[in-house]
Amino acid sequence: MTPLLRRTALAGAVLATVLLASAFALGDRPAPTAPDTTATAAPTTRQVVLALLAPERIAVLDLDTGAVVQQRLPGGTLCRSPLLVVDGRIVFVAPGRHGGRVMAVDASLRRRPHQLATADVVVPSATPGRVWLGARAPGSHGDWLVRELTIADAVSTRPPRTAPPLPILGVVSDGLVLGGHRSVLVWDPRTGRRSRATPGPYLLAVRGEQVASCGGRCSSALIADGARGRVVHAPHGARFVPSPGAFSADGARLAVALKPRAARVPGSSTS
């Protein structure tokens, strides 16, 4: 891929986020029967969506032709939000005067992004075509006002309860995944209660009911679905990097980054 990126003048850019839609393909799902007035139809080619720094921008790479299209983002956007590919659109949170602005743009990047809602956090929903939004509730406690938004029509539904004042990391089928001090928690918006927790405060990936997390030096990761869990050890001499990974489409595989463990200096003391 490096020669390809070099030919398209993307060499040297800092890769911040890579988000793939269903085996790299944004156009695998059938086109909607009703006309879409806010965006063009999803492309039928295999594509990768990249978030690039210096300057901040979206780049869409066509894996079949090598063609690249780009669009600039307001400075500070990628500090607030990753780029999400939802229902053929790229969704992100851009900074605004009165909180974050949830923006969407067609994957062709032929139009400027348009605003869907106001929120500080956006994460993919467990339901296709939707996202969960989080905005800080008024007051000093810092609870989250959360709602689920359908991308196609920008219609949202809000549960009657606010979420705890913890970082919103993702969503599984039984609730929002929140970051705790020693574990990641699943909060059920229907009951307003924490339904379960997975040891390790660093979230690696979520899918369906599965939560993968690690803690401490991340020499091992725990994958749990609420009923059972299993421990996966990093290869000898390495550890997991506490950064976003991804489950495969069938949930049988987990892709995560590895980092060599720091070598001990001969003669050094731990006292």
**What proportion of the chain, given as a percentage, has pLDDT over 90?**
64
Give residue 178's pLDDT: 96
Between 18 and 194, the higher pLDDT residue: 194
Give the Cα separation of 230 and 111 in Å (integer).
45
Q: Is the pLDDT of residue 163 over 50?
A: yes
Within a domain: residue 3?
Answer: yes
Mean pLDDT of the chain: 81
DSSP-H helix ranges across the chain: 2-7, 77-80
Q: Which residue has the tokens 């069938």?
A: 250
Flag whether 20 is in a domain.
yes
Q: Which of 67, 88, 81, 86 is nearest to 16 (CA)?
A: 81
Top-confidence residue, 10 or 220: 220
Summarised one tens digit per residue, pLDDT across range 69-95 is: 999 999 889 988 889 999 999 999 999
Structural domain contains residue 231: no
Q: Bigger pLDDT: 57 or 80?
A: 57
- CB hemisphere CA count around 137 (13 angstroms): 16
- 150: pLDDT strictly greater than 80: yes
Cα 158 from Cα 149, distance rounded (Å): 9
Diameter of the chain measured on Cα atoms: 71
Res. 141: pLDDT tops 90: no
CA distance 65 to 25: 14
Write down the pLDDT at residue 197. Answer: 92
Q: What is the secondary structure of 62-120 as a DSSP string?
A: ETTT--EEEEE--TTHHHH---EEETTEEEEEE--TTS-EEEEEETT--S--EEEEE-S
Burial class from Cβ neighbours inside 10 Å (0-12, 13-18, 19+) for residue 200 reads: buried
- Look up the pTM and report it: 0.76
Total domains present in the chain: 1
pLDDT in tens, 171-220: 999 999 999 989 999 999 999 999 999 989 999 999 999 999 999 899 99
Task: With beta carbons less than 8 A apart as the criterion, state whether 44 and 62 touch.
Answer: no
Domain containing 64 equals: 1-127+135-145
Q: Is residue 187 part of a domain?
A: no
